[in-house]
Structure 1
């Protein structure tokens, strides 16, 4: 394949493009229409990102739990912390609000203060009856005082579930049907029915209602992601086109570049729809990413066209040379950029695979669009005016290039010392990097729903479920007193962990049953003794109400039990410590020959997924480095050249990693993308520089110093242009309300800025210092791929034109 990428091949491509202009434009429009028709297949994600492979042990354990007890993330909670709620009017309104949710098809059940029932001993029928705390509605303050006395002091079973006895915070639990939790029906219900009803209640009562729960958080989070896509696209278009215009001072050139990247964005959405992928927090970044990557392609092509026009004034020859001289180089740089993204395809994470596939295909697509649209449109346009070519002689660019040349000539020791200091400082910073596996850390922190998350963390110790499933290995083994006592011991440990909420399980229900047997006396809220167990459980078995309550904690066979607790938003290190403490207690209390106990839940799955992604980061980055090193080896046929080309691109990655450590930016699903993305893009500058360096060596009869300085002067301008576009283009992501996206944009921008300086200062310095070892004529005289045709090629091209 690479042998085809010769000057002759690109001359044939140029003739094909310029002789079939109308046909190609029609094909582009039809292809765009086709991709536009695929938009209807795009789906917005309704679940948390599953960062683990489907067959990973943690996923298998979690799915096993779901098979036994069903979807665990189907709870929405409403909360109010306001003393005025305990008035006749407001409390009745609160209960009426809860009742109003029961009529919806999407709702499985609603549990509010009004729905709470007292277990009452029925001696005559030897069973427990259920008696509501509120029989119909509240009529007097006396009833409210009695209700508070009973709830907050006499019935600990409900404490920390529907109320906080200490702060008098009240909440209502709404359980959605499990089969709609991960579908669009959940979003429609929450946005169209649930939220308007709550907002109307707030307006009528003046109470501040807090809302949380995983279905609600996921819905508003997904809505925010979708809402940011057009903002990102608009901001990327504005920033990159503005910078482009400031460089070229041409509305015509700016408009053409906008056409190209807009088509690229449409194709990207079409690729997502065609492949049936979901819009996630990662794939939402690709359309603006394509704009940011596409504009530098336009810079190279249009800049070359204007240089050629200024040189000889022949428009057709200029457009041919744009394709033949820049097309190959742009293809190579886009391939390396796409390779950086494509390495994610080789990971086992579905989320990263989809991101890598769409991004790499979109990058190749934007290259094709640039190569076809720009030369064709310029054939229909008049010659550039004199003012459009003024940017080719900008003084500030010339001054900056002269400064770099002077540094390379006279300050190599300073450059090496700075690089060494950066390496040492970065290594120290890297050791300070932490890993974060939080479900909510990257969510928009200035939104109402995020503040509500913190409210429920304070009042009820968290909203992220952590589940423990106990398999007794025999039917009805859960209700054995020995099992209940073991579960109680585990619950005592959970209760002592400040990051976890009070556990909910069958143990609490059995304790409540004993309290009811002793006529509601709260001092009997405890597990029955072996003597009491038989007759108390006989009461419970005769009660249909207990069977209904039991189904939430024990499976239908009585073999499996669950202990549910809710966790605060904590770091990975704390999460691992908590898991170790729980596992130690489990191993001590539950003999493995009699019980099989697992710890799972969304929070744990996400945390494990983050650690898995960190491992994949190392794999994907290593693959990117190896892939590009192989490409360099094939290109230059020199091991030393591989080392020289990689050093300037690895240094910025080290600096960025060090900055993450010093600034406290953790490794998480969003920030792990930085390194592979930045490496794939930054190596483009190296390819441009080394290709030009090889060409200058041939033109200057292997005079190394002269060739290095010439390559620096010529490629420096384009590198500065594209680096500025990329820096401000990626900076667009810092306007996101998602912390991870902000970090991604800022870190990639910083990395690319360092990469530009590294390629313009460190790379030529290394070439000069190692000149005797690197400038091997036999290696560099005949490259495997002729990226930038030499002047000899141009002469041959002109002779061919004259003969024709």
Structure 2
């Protein structure tokens, strides 16, 4: 029972708890770890981690392309590049800087082995000859010279950074060094560059959504609630829900990432649903003659269980995201669910009490004439056009199935960055001019610890490289084959034509002796460990769907030709893990939604003690989700890790209005009213708050359409569409299904 004493006590205790929690916000941090998007508990992830212990991470590099309009073989340009490389090598955390400028090859001469640079920077006359020689060596040319011959590439490898601060420090120092030099154009790509761009955009989105979601909700509250005191109370509770959730995330060590920026806006919008229904029912009870205290207590008693169920179903919708075994998506689901619980608790601990203490002036005749007229039209349609409604939704369902059949799973590594973002343009430049920025990694090994450096094994690895280039779009590959060809070239005058595998057994043995004796890998780069070797390089990003198809084709061809008693293989690496996440996305998403459907069905069946109610509930709630998938299919928008969250968010929220509708319907039937009259009273009693909450929810999520990230934009657009479709279904299809299929027997208390 809510009274003055209990109201004051509830507000004081809740305020103290919120203040203590809110003090943690000063420790809130942002996270840029894109490795978090790898699939959890996956055998390939375990293998990759073990592989990196031996060979290092495949994405710890920065690519720099220096463009010179007059041509790259200009002495002044190359000398500036050489000076730049020296400065880059001095940066803390940089392991090695490789470029055409500082690249050399060892040549065997009668005087012994000598190291000869590819470019003679101090001799202008020699540069022309050097350029001709470089173009005769495809493995050097393709790695370090752009296809249009207007730029040269620098590969900066760095150590693995434990946190964002160290990674950002490296990038900042690289930019500082670059600012000291004047080049016609500089392009930079690589994981630290991409992560930094993501975090900056995430921070901008976080602030933007928080401010504009709050402003949008404030406007909606002023329009629909109108009482300034209640508007302020509603907005305060929503903001406190955000504060509690972010504080909880800080306490458990969760940092804000690209997906968790959505949480504050989601909570600001979703928390409004319970408040609107509470306020609307309190007004209704007051309009029917109850005193304000009685109206408040009646509302809490009647609506409390329904709003509890809606909070549960919404939380369940978000929790289904744990089925997508990617940590940021799991975190979004779990912390959104926690936030929804906080929103429910704060609403019932504060809003009724504030109404009791503030005593807002309710008008006896409160219903909006426009909404009332709209609801009368809907009721008339439900009563007189039932077959038309069913046929319309049936035709729409067929169209939805066609759209779903066109839906695909696909993703690109940098698709979320804004279209004209300079970082995104730089990544695309390397894709078009240098064979890509996407790391390609593959491991090969010999059974029974057999030697990697043998004629049979190296020949097989060479054939694998050829197939990988043709099938997987793998470029600029480095492997034990690279070592063998380089040594053979070295032993035969360093001529370009001799960069190949040995031809005679004697030549093979001579190369292998040089590799072992000279400890070549220790001097240049590590590609083997015992009987394990790596093949690494770059590939262009044509999307995860293309990569998956190519990988399947590659494996089929290689399995047919490779003698696994001599050599076995495995594709690994960070890119492969991300692609696998997308590949398993569809099945995991369906599992999660199926679980949510089962829970909601149980709730509906429990409320009406009827198995038919399960079907009646599911149809109008699954239809909006299927409609989203159909629209995405028709417009060629793929499902990926970013857009997958749309379905869980939509399903969790659209069920709320159905629960409120059914709860009121149940109440009317328990009062002994006929089915037709119960539907009429339900439509007019719940129709207005359902419409109002849909408008607020749609307005709040529409803010996401202003995001810099494509996935966030799609979330705002399609979730908003699902709310509108759900509103139509709840106020037309749902009552028609109830009239057709729900038994008309009286419900016993």
**Shared fold per TM-score greater than 0.5:** yes
C-alpha distance in 2, partners of 1:353/1:382? Answer: 42
Q: What is the correspondence of 1:309-708 to structure 2 with a 5 Å cutoff? A: 309-312=286-289, 314-345=291-322, 348-381=325-358, 383-384=360-361, 392-473=366-447, 477-497=451-471, 499-529=473-503, 530-543=505-518, 547-551=522-526, 553-555=527-529, 557=530, 559-699=531-671, 701-708=672-679
Partner residue of 1:744?
715
Relative to structure 1, the CA distance from residue 498 to residue 365 in structure 2 (aligned partners, 3 Å threshold; closer, same or farther) is closer
Partner residue of 2:281?
304
Q: Is the 8 A contact 2:323 2:588 kept in 1?
A: no
* CA drift at 1:592: 1.8
Aligned with residue 71 of structure 1, among 57, 64, 75 = 57
Aligned with residue 21 of structure 2, among 35, 38, 42 = 35
Q: Is the 8 A contact 1:444 1:450 kept in 2?
A: yes
User: How well do the aligned residues superpose, as a CA RMSD in angstroms?
Assistant: 2.5
Cα deviation digits, residues 269-307 of structure 1 (max 9, x gap): 112122222423222211111011012222222333444
Which secondary structure does the structure 1 equivalent of 2:358 belong to? coil
Aligned with residue 133 of structure 2, among 150, 159, 162 = 150
C-alpha distance in 1, partners of 2:79/2:225? Answer: 68
Q: Is the 8 A contact 2:703 2:716 kept in 1?
A: yes
Partner residue of 2:165?
184
Match status 1:761 vs 2:723? no
Partner residue of 1:295?
272
C-alpha distance in 2, partners of 1:704/1:94? Answer: 82
Relative to structure 1, the CA distance from residue 561 to residue 498 in structure 2 (aligned partners, 3 Å threshold; closer, same or farther) is closer
Which secondary structure does the structure 2 equivalent of 1:44 belong to? coil
C-alpha distance in 1, partners of 2:423/2:449? Answer: 42
Which secondary structure does the structure 1 equivalent of 2:34 belong to? coil
* CA drift at 1:589: 4.5
Relative to structure 1, the CA distance from residue 539 to residue 416 in structure 2 (aligned partners, 3 Å threshold; closer, same or farther) is same
C-alpha distance in 2, partners of 1:678/1:544? Answer: 60
* CA drift at 1:456: 0.6
Aligned with residue 162 of structure 1, among 144, 166, 181 = 144
Q: Is the 8 A contact 2:92 2:170 kept in 1?
A: no
Q: What is the correspondence of 1:72-111 to structure 2 with a 5 Å cutoff? A: 72-84=58-70, 85-111=72-98
Match status 1:130 vs 2:115? yes
* CA drift at 1:143: 4.6
Relative to structure 1, the CA distance from residue 704 to residue 544 in structure 2 (aligned partners, 3 Å threshold; closer, same or farther) is closer
Partner residue of 1:251?
228
C-alpha distance in 2, partners of 1:378/1:55? Answer: 49
Gaps of 5+ in 2: none
* CA drift at 1:175: 0.7
* CA drift at 1:526: 0.7
Match status 1:725 vs 2:701? no
Relative to structure 1, the CA distance from residue 616 to residue 715 in structure 2 (aligned partners, 3 Å threshold; closer, same or farther) is same
C-alpha distance in 2, partners of 1:165/1:647? Answer: 55
> Greater CA deviation, 374-383 or 608-617?
374-383
Which secondary structure does the structure 2 equivalent of 1:502 belong to? strand
Aligned with residue 743 of structure 2, among 761, 771, 774 = 774
* CA drift at 1:706: 1.7
Cα deviation digits, residues 753-789 of structure 1 (max 9, x gap): 111100100011122223xx52222xx332xxxxxxx
C-alpha distance in 1, partners of 2:68/2:368? Answer: 65
* CA drift at 1:122: 4.2
C-alpha distance in 2, partners of 1:681/1:277? Answer: 24
Which secondary structure does the structure 1 equivalent of 2:500 belong to? coil
Relative to structure 1, the CA distance from residue 668 to residue 101 in structure 2 (aligned partners, 3 Å threshold; closer, same or farther) is same
Which secondary structure does the structure 1 equivalent of 2:466 belong to? helix
C-alpha distance in 1, partners of 2:199/2:86? Answer: 28
Q: Please, what TM-score do these two structures have when normalized by structure 2?
A: 0.94
Partner residue of 1:6?
none
Cα deviation digits, residues 452-492 of structure 1 (max 9, x gap): 11111001121111211111235572211211111111112
Q: Is the 8 A contact 1:111 1:173 kept in 2?
A: yes
Q: Is the 8 A contact 2:68 2:184 kept in 1?
A: yes
Partner residue of 1:282?
259
Which secondary structure does the structure 2 equivalent of 1:562 belong to? strand
Q: Is the 8 A contact 1:438 1:603 kept in 2?
A: no
C-alpha distance in 2, partners of 1:511/1:181? Answer: 36
Gaps of 5+ in 1: 1-10, 783-804
C-alpha distance in 1, partners of 2:147/2:434? Answer: 11
Cα deviation digits, residues 304-340 of structure 1 (max 9, x gap): 3444455548433333334333333222211111121
Aligned with residue 267 of structure 1, among 224, 240, 244 = 244
Q: Please, what TM-score do these two structures have when normalized by structure 1?
A: 0.88
